[in-house]
Structure 1
């Protein structure tokens, strides 16, 4: 189990938040720059079905689900500093993998490459997230994670915007920028290691196998189980909002060009960060449970708005769901990293979220092929069935937060 020695001064804590947030910004920018490029490439150039496009997202998150828990266990057993050294190389390798997309023109190999990205992503982000929790005190963790995930979202927005400018350029040009950005993320991680070398040396592993009590681990995870269930419910719809299929849905449902659809998603996600931060502030200052309930309710409301075939409602839907989801992500990590098995708790949380993304993308991709954009009309209000059906797990997550009692989170 991870043991933490001492704490940093406020200035050092802010520096740690800044560096790790920049890593999140650059790493997400690199990934989100390549996602729409590959999504439109397989859909338009290769003629892939919606299910095949959804399979890209599923393969990525399935691989990430496996490696997320593995990374958490390795952090608890081998030490954070050792795994961070590996992560530096993984960012650079990830950039090289992105370039390989330009060398294949069949969905099988492209899906395999997306799975490799998931493996690299799973190890990297669990390690970075645990590092943030270790370097920041509990009273700041909710907001620190909100800033961290906000930075990642900003990177995603910028990645989408850059892609919209390069949407009709050769694929290799887009992927080359992604490669360079991944390399920068790796260099920043190396800088973190050098600056906080002595502090990270104070984060040590258990001294023996006996020190890693599996029954104790299960008991510790039980304390965050209900929060994991909430995160799982939202992640299933997140696969739609943040996955390859979202660009296709917005473009086809509203009749928008690919660059316009990408910008709409990017801008809605951008302004959602403000509301998401406010929810995380409530968690830090007042109560985790209240913040979880408000955030999840906002996400459910966003799904309803997204189902209406109008630019304004789709924009508001993405904004509301993204706001609620970003807050739940931050609050859940705040709770997980406060447990006794920090690495494993964050790893399991990430794994379950990734499982939700995998199952969600497969189910929604299948539904898209089967029911497409068929509407349901009630009292003159037109709504697409697809988002409403896909949003059922998020509704269950909301009911779970209502069943929770204060003190159980």
Structure 2
């Protein structure tokens, strides 16, 4: 493992029960001024973070297995990123690339052309968030193909804007009562190996979706299919081998664009620079965000030059898209990922964590499946002896782990998946300690 150095002590320490009095006081103020629709997974308020720890307002040091939802892969205060942000902010924080452009935006686009799958000529456009990137990828696909229909899949998550809510599968909390949604979005069955019928191959699962597309929409009406190479909010679902290649081959044969939503899976998270590489597929368009800029808000659509250049001047952009400070952070983040070989670090995390959790699953009998790639791993919680989802146990385990100083996130269509997204720079000892806390929390709640 790379010998990471840290600014903060990498230790779990509880100075108070959680939440402590200072966090509780901030939470009380929040109720008076922050909209109730904004939720938070944990009730503590951060004041510092580094490596694999977050320090709250009461001096508690918590082990972070969420990384701000796969964002702070290089750490939440990486010194190279912080220095790049400070240097750029001293020069200028904004001019708007659509008014007075700057080199940082161009350099980020150059890096994305080199890093993303495929040797074809590429172009990029920069935005602020993953949802913005997805929405613009759909715009590009529709204009480039002259078609309107877009195919999304069961268990998908693509964002919270109107169009991306239409693409997202789960109703609560993402879609409920927010309609009507954007039209010409169609949902097809995905590949969910743990819950698909026994013996269904990836190729068969893809053909099942393709048959429905052809019958319900017609291939010549479809502009694009969009898929997360590992479905994130849906439960860290890794498709069966052959699913994505079969789907992509069909798309290519029918003039349909394949959009890979790599907002959560990108930038070394899965043990490759991008999760599409594991599937051996090259997207026509790829959406990027989260880990791209070390915590600064930045997103991108990168794709085939002919597709990206089909859009008329002024058809893409936004006031803050490709902000110069965020671009500086992205360049420092990418340099750090290369220097520390964080794809390899993600593979190390998988090689140590996954076998341990698989062995633990046999012990407790409430884990239906351990899955994922790299440092994007998950356990699906079920009722003993069944495949029935157990969201209540999942929630209780997350709460128990937090009470012991470990932040974990949950997800899944059925609310029964614990996901592990540690910063890629977390130390082995700290990660091992966090897993012990997680295992003890599961044991505690399965013996009651």
Normalised by the size of structure 2, how large is the TM-score?
Answer: 0.25
**Which structure carries more helix by proportion?**
1
Normalised by the size of structure 1, how large is the TM-score?
Answer: 0.27
Larger radius of gyration, structure 1 or 2?
A: 2
**Which structure carries more strand by proportion?**
2
Greater relative CO (CA pairs within 8 A, separation 6+): 1
